[in-house]
Amino acid sequence: MFPLEFEQPFIDRVWVRTGKMIKIQAGDCMQVEGTLRAPSLPRNPGAFNEKEYLFRRGIHAVLVPAEGEKSIQRLKTVDSWWRSLLATVRERVEVTLRTLFSPGEAGFLGGLLCGWTDQLDHQMEESFSVLGITHILAASGMNVALLVMPVWWLLARLSVQPWIRLMIILPFIAFYVGLAGATPSVLRAGIMASLLLIGKVMDRPVDLLTLVGVSAWVSIFIDPLILWDLGFQLSYGVTIGLIVLTPRLTTFFSFLPSILKNALAATLAAELVSVPLLIHTFHIYTPVSILANLYVAPFVAVLVPLGFLLLFMGLLSPLVTAWLVPLGNALLYLMLKPVLFIGKKEWLLMSFASPSPVFLASYYGGLLLLVVERLKRIQVVRKLSLLMIGVYLVALWCPVSPGKQLLVTFLDVGQGDSIFIRTPSNRVILVDGGGAYKSAHGEYNVGEKIVVPYLRNEGVRQIDMLILSHPDQDHMMGLFSVLHEVPVKSVLIPGFPDESESYKEFLALVQEKEIPLYLAHKGDRWDVDQGLSLQIINPPSPYIRGTRRDVNANCIVFELDYGNRSFLFTGDVEGEVEPLMQSSLHPVDALKVAHHGSKYSTSSAFLQTVHPRYAIISVGKNNRYGHPDQEVLERLEQEGARMIRTDEAGAVLCRTDGENLTIEVTKGMHK
């Protein structure tokens, strides 16, 4: 929160974050009372950076409305003919599409024709993302051309003078750009189309690269921060790639028919430019992206003009479109059915730990040298460019090995547990996956929002062992997303019976995916890596019964030893079970404090035995349980343990070579 109280009015852009359902429209003047705070920094490696995201949009603060009905009030509506016109037309277009097509198809066509993705079906959006074809939902050059060319042709047939035609069409282009949300891709297309028409009217030769450059400068002049927008980078990068690379790539496919040759060359050109940037941002890629783009391209080429035709006819009268709607439905079915089916195959996705920006610059620098006309025939330059591209590809496919380092990351998943372990030989163990809960902003799945993105950021393509400490919601629910998104070789569970529906669903999913399932028992031991062992300390056999909560009492507790360094993971084990583990315990370097610091665990006798140097507490900020308990904190302090809480420090990263141990957090460094 900001420590200052502003007595004088000031002007700035803020993001109002509220979970309330409020119907507003463009032009509404709202009064909001609440707490002004600084945008959040990421609390886990590779997580969404709210501060950076908002800054690039010129927003410097977040306003959280106060409780109460009067914290948000509509004062008045400022009439603006432009905003009102855009809002009215958009509403009319959406109603027309919903009249002609089913909700899912209408949402897709809204994206295809006008770049509106807010009505897109979630499953459709996921499939498009998996297959790398989301770009077809960004209104761009084809859309603008299909709108402008018929109007230009019609005006020419009516013998309208070129300058008058231009004066009619330029506002028409501006209107469509505004209707499509003025996203970087449609803004680029609108500016380039306008410049192209101006050049045509002036009878001046047009250079496409010059048009791209001028439109980029105009976009940056309108909004300088757009330079850091991924959509801007992809739109201009791919456009330049299509102009420069496509003619060169067609020579490699001279044996193919002309249409297929050009389509394949254009698809490859777009992939060569966009994929490294997408991997750098999202850390995932699917090898079938090229095939998916080749498959959907013909459908898009037909559906865009057909969609505009149906839309304009439907705006006049839905009845006159009756003879064309079945054709649209058939094309949509043929296009979307395979996409939705294949897009569910999570094994198609490959994760990459993105190399540093230096390697990314090496790739694009090499690509640039390769296509510069004056340099491409110089053998030394060609070899250098290929070397620079090769360096990036090697760094991408063969990330630097951790060497002798063991990495243990306690993720900040709010009120829950999720621990990532990467061994020196790149084996991966995931312990728990956090939970899923409802907040003021809707349902929040920790696995989908935090754990899976972290795994992607780490370039994890396979989990060697997934450990569920016990089937409590705050440990298990996030693992559903993990199992759906990342291949898992084996699952370890405590085995104590639990009749909850969510646990039954978890076991059913493991069985459905044919993942080997193992039961943990005290004394089990795995030599995970050279010099690295994992030993189970709880649950015993037979299981413990008659405790305050048997599920907690029988959770998995294990020790991880690497060289002279050791970690103890305690799940939610209860204090009444701690004496039963006493014979297997000894001093450790890092302790995962049991049950988020609950008063029912971490007794003085237990702490005197394990005597941890560091105590990591995975706990949610301002949680309703009052964790961690003050008495537990006092006992840890008395024992001399340095306490690190995820609600205060974010994710906790422990690195050791078996001798030295370094612990990093997102808000500083603990030595």
471 vs 13: CA distance, rounded Å = 44
3-class SS at 317? coil
CA–chain centroid gap for 68, Å, is: 33
CA–chain centroid gap for 151, Å, is: 40
pLDDT digit string, tens, across residues 341-359: 888 776 678 888 878 888 8
65 vs 18: CA distance, rounded Å = 6
Residue scoring higher pLDDT (258 or 513): 513
Peptide bond into 542 cis (omega under 30): yes
For 660, other C-beta atoms within 10 Å of its C-beta total 11
- Find, among 226, 152, 131, the residue nearest to 186 by Cα: 226
For 395, other C-beta atoms within 10 Å of its C-beta total 20
Residues sharing a CB contact under 8 Å with residue 252, sequence separation 6 or more, in sequence order? 265
pLDDT-derived band at 439 (thresholds 50, 70, 90) equals low
Tokens of 299: 């459908």
184 vs 6: CA distance, rounded Å = 35
Q: What is the DSSP string of 52-95?
A: HHHHTTT--EEEEEPSSGGGEEEEEE---HHHHHHHHHHHHHHH
For the segment 265-291, the average pLDDT, to the nearest whole number, is 89
pLDDT digit string, tens, across residues 144-194: 988 888 889 888 898 889 899 999 999 999 999 999 988 899 999 999 999
CA–chain centroid gap for 633, Å, is: 36
Per-residue pLDDT, 669: 40
- Find, among 141, 142, 143, 197, the residue nearest to 169 by Cα: 197
Q: What is the DSSP string of 608-634?
A: HHH--SEEEE---TT-TT-PSPHHHHH
Residue scoring higher pLDDT (79 or 1): 79
For the segment 258-271, the average pLDDT, to the nearest whole number, is 89
594 vs 600: CA distance, rounded Å = 9
Q: Answer whether residue 5 shows pLDDT above 60.
A: no
Residue scoring higher pLDDT (69 or 505): 505
How much of the chain exceeds pLDDT 90, in percent? 46
- Find, among 123, 99, 124, the residue nearest to 112 by Cα: 124
Residue scoring higher pLDDT (143 or 537): 537
Residue type, 577: V
Residue type, 534: L
Tokens of 12: 């700035």
Per-residue pLDDT, 375: 61
Per-residue pLDDT, 2: 46
Residue scoring higher pLDDT (26 or 619): 619
Residue type, 455: L
643 vs 631: CA distance, rounded Å = 13
Element (H, E) at 152: helix 141-157
192 vs 172: CA distance, rounded Å = 14
Q: Answer whether residue 1 shows pLDDT above 50.
A: no
- Find, among 355, 352, 350, 428, the residue nearest to 389 by Cα: 355
397 vs 351: CA distance, rounded Å = 10
Q: Looking up tokens 């019609």, which residue turns up?
A: 154
Task: Choose which CATH entry (3.40.50.970, 3.60.20.10, 3.60.15.10, 3.40.50.720) describes domain 406-670.
Answer: 3.60.15.10
Give the HSE-up count for residue 201: Cα atoms under 13 Å, Cβ half-sphere.
Answer: 19
Q: Answer whether residue 78 shows pLDDT above 50.
A: yes
Cα four-point dihedral sign 71, 74, 80, 84: positive
pLDDT digit string, tens, across residues 305-337: 999 998 888 888 777 787 888 999 999 999 999
What is the pLDDT of the chain when averaged over all its residues?
Answer: 87
Q: Answer yes or no: are the C-beta atoms of 372 and 245 closer than 8 Å.
A: no
Number of H helices, E strands in the chain: 24, 25
- Find, among 642, 635, 638, the residue nearest to 663 by Cα: 642
Peptide bond into 587 cis (omega under 30): no
Q: Looking up tokens 């006798």, which residue turns up?
A: 605
476 vs 555: CA distance, rounded Å = 12
Residues sharing a CB contact under 8 Å with residue 172, sequence separation 6 or more, in sequence order? 147, 148, 151
Q: What is the DSSP string of 464-488?
A: SEEE-S---HHHHTHHHHHHHHS-B
591 vs 614: CA distance, rounded Å = 6
Query: Burial, 576: exposed, middle or buried (Cβ in 10 Å; 0-12, 13-18, 19+)?
Result: middle
Residues sharing a CB contact under 8 Å with residue 176, sequence separation 6 or more, in sequence order? 139, 143, 144, 147, 186, 190
Residue scoring higher pLDDT (452 or 254): 452
Per-residue pLDDT, 566: 96
Per-residue pLDDT, 9: 64
Can you give the pTM of this predicted structure? Answer: 0.85
78 vs 359: CA distance, rounded Å = 50
